[in-house]
């Protein structure tokens, strides 16, 4: 029973780790647009609301394009990657790259860049997060598909709760009176913590459910379900 609960919790954490970092990223939209509004000397405009810059005006549309295009492409490529890239590389590698992007994003809160350079780095970060997020999500549902149906639910529960956590974090930041930069730094560091916990949860899974069935075998024969997990089917 303890092993069953541990597997459920591991999949829940992995589900949370697929969407919570991106939700934190989107919660910090005011920070990103504020950085694009800054003058060349790096100080934010105060007083009357300044006229929106070209980069600030284009930010939402460009970020949507940078998010949705790789998400669509890599979702379609998941079946190709499943057969040719090991599961560990797809899951742990995706988490590690997303972690690196969020660490860079957190560092940039404290580092001043010209608006154009900041815009380019942010756009590239969005592409990387959504590309490997699509690979990660497809891989997780593939893993859960080799187990009883009950193990798909925690992934979806974690993803559903991700938006709630991000909203609560924003409410707490507003209630505490934190500046936009301080709140955004907290979002990015929190995302890094969630990703690290997700990596640990994935590392613990093989000890709980046994080694995964190789892709070339699972393509021809049904995946074997460990006996100790059958009771929840």
What domains lie within the chain, and their CATH numbers? 2-38+53-206 (1.20.1250.20)
User: 187 falls in which pLDDT band (50, 70, 90)?
Assistant: very high
Report the pLDDT averaged over residues 207-230.
Answer: 47
In the chain, the N- to C-terminal Cα span, in Å, equals: 13
Residue predicted with more confidence, 32 or 223: 32
Q: Can you give the pTM of this predicted structure?
A: 0.81
Distance from C-alpha of 231 to C-alpha of 163, rounded to nearest angstrom: 31
Tell me if residue 70 falls in helix, strand or coil.
helix
What the block records as the tokens of 152 is 């798909």
Is the model's pLDDT at 29 over the cut of 60? yes
CA distances from 44 to 47, 63, 186, 231 (A): 10, 22, 20, 59
pLDDT, tens digit (0-9, with 9 covering 90-100), for 68-114: 999 999 988 888 888 888 888 899 999 999 999 999 999 999 998 99
Chain-wide mean pLDDT for the chain? 83
User: 49 falls in which pLDDT band (50, 70, 90)?
Assistant: low
User: 25 falls in which pLDDT band (50, 70, 90)?
Assistant: very high
Burial 2-37 (b: 16+ CB within 10 A, else e): eebebbbebbbbbbbbbbbbbbbbebbeebbbbbbb
CA distances from 89 to 17, 99, 150, 182, 187 (A): 16, 14, 25, 34, 26
pLDDT at res. 151: 78
Is the model's pLDDT at 40 over the cut of 60? no
User: 147 falls in which pLDDT band (50, 70, 90)?
Assistant: confident
């Amino acid at each position: 029973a303890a092993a069953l609960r541990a597997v459920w919790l591991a999949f829940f954490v992995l589900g949370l780790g697929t969407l919570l970092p991106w939700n934190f990223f989107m919660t910090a939209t005011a920070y990103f647009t504020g950085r694009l509004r800054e003058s060349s000397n790096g100080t934010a405009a105060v007083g009357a609301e300044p006229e929106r810059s070209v980069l600030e005006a284009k930010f939402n549309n460009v970020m949507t394009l940078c998010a949705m295009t790789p998400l669509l492409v890599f979702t379609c490529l998941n079946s190709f990657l499943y057969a040719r890239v090991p599961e560990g590389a797809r899951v742990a590698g995706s988490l590690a790259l997303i972690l690196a992007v969020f660490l860079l994003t957190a560092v940039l809160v404290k580092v001043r860049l010209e608006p154009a350079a900041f815009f380019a780095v942010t756009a590239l970060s969005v592409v990387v997060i959504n590309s490997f997020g699509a690979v990660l999500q497809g891989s997780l549902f593939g893993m859960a598909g080799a187990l009883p149906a009950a193990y798909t639910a925690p992934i979806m529960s974690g993803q559903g709760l991700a938006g709630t956590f991000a909203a609560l974090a924003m409410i707490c930041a507003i209630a505490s009176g934190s500046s936009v930069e301080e709140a955004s730094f907290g979002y990015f560091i929190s995302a890094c913590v969630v990703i690290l916990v997700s990596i640990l949860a994935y590392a613990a899974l093989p000890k709980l459910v046994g080694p995964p069935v190789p892709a070339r075998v699972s393509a021809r024969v049904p995946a074997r379900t460990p006996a100790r997990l059958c009771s929840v089917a």
